[in-house]
Chains A and B, each alone.
Chain A
Amino acid sequence: MTTMTTPLALPFEVSFDGPGLWYATRATGLVALLLLTLCVTLGVLTTVRFTSPKWPRFVTVGLHSNTSLLTTVFLALHILTTVADSYTDIRLSDAFLPFAANYRPVWLGLGTVASDLLIALIVTSLVRVRMGHRSWRAIHWLAYVSWPVAMVHAFGTGTDPSTVWVSALALVCLGTVLAASAWRLLTGWPDRKGLRLAAATSVAAVVLAGWGWASSGPLAPGWSKRALAPVTHASTVWSS
């Protein structure tokens, strides 16, 4: 095992191939997922106009935007530690261009998609006053895509979902977002029943499909081997 020292004489050695970065990648990814869940929930709470005497509405909105910014910080750390880790050959471009990586291209690519969507959401929100409410809102619907895609990425590439406490956290995240979505679907758009029914049906379909995939894929034994290759080639590559 070799260690690299930076040209500046730091009082510690920076290692790029020990397990430290790998632990950091997993930890920051998990924290980013928890924060993203909080973001989505607070966003929905804004839309359903949640309020109470001790919780004014501007608290929900302020927390929503600050949590989003905090999510990007952990997302940046997650990406940087992944790229810096020399155990896998993941380039910085893989953090922005999906499905081109050498390592678990599909499942890593979904993380890239979620991250790109999140960047779009943050940037448009920062210039919301300039770009106008309508186009901002149209783009902000992508938040409902970003969260499930990030979740599938977490299960598809994650080392930890099969451990009990991480899967418990994932269940809490899923339950929170589902409860928030149900609240929104039950209270919003009184004049658009068809649209709400369609949204509820697609949520149920996504959850069922995700559940089936997770239990037969990442949560079943042997996933780390099958996940390395693109899905379509998994059986041919690893059965030989």
Chain B
Amino acid sequence: MRYRLRVNPITCEAHGMCAELLGEIIDLDPWGYPILGSDAVPPDLVGHAERAVVSCPTLALILDRSSHARARA
């Protein structure tokens, strides 16, 4: 199982909750919008990533699961 993280830039309103809860992967730009260090979530951070997804006030953070590993083009 692979986990990939992405942000919906349309719904994101820069609450910044994700950077608090998943600081290992997410930084904030000067305007408070998230910047993902990498979109792949290591297994030990999946729990934190899920909590960040559920806590996002606008549900703009999305965690995709894929059962087979795919190389990115």
Enumerate chain A interface residues (CB-CB to B < 8 A): 46, 49, 51, 56-58, 61-62, 128-129, 132-133
> B54 and A58: CB pair below 8 A?
no
Tell me if A's interface is mostly helix, strand, loop or mixed.
Answer: helix
Interchain CA distance A58-B16 in the complex, whole Å: 9
Interchain CA distance A51-B17 in the complex, whole Å: 11
Partner of A61 from B11, B53, B55, B59 at Cβ < 8 Å: B55
Known interface pairs A58-B20, A58-B21; A49-B15 also in contact (CB < 8 Å): yes
Interface size of B in residues (CB-CB distance below 8 Å) = 12
Enumerate chain B interface residues (CB-CB to A < 8 A): 11, 15-17, 20-21, 53-55, 57-59
> B59 and A57: CB pair below 8 A?
no
Partner of B59 from A46, A49, A133 at Cβ < 8 Å: A133
Tell me which residues across on chain B come within 8 A of A49, comparing CB atoms.
Answer: 15-16
> A58 and B59: CB pair below 8 A?
no
Interchain CA distance A200-B11 in the complex, whole Å: 27
> B16 and A57: CB pair below 8 A?
yes
Tell me which residues across on chain A come within 8 A of B21, comparing CB atoms.
Answer: 58
> A58 and B17: CB pair below 8 A?
yes
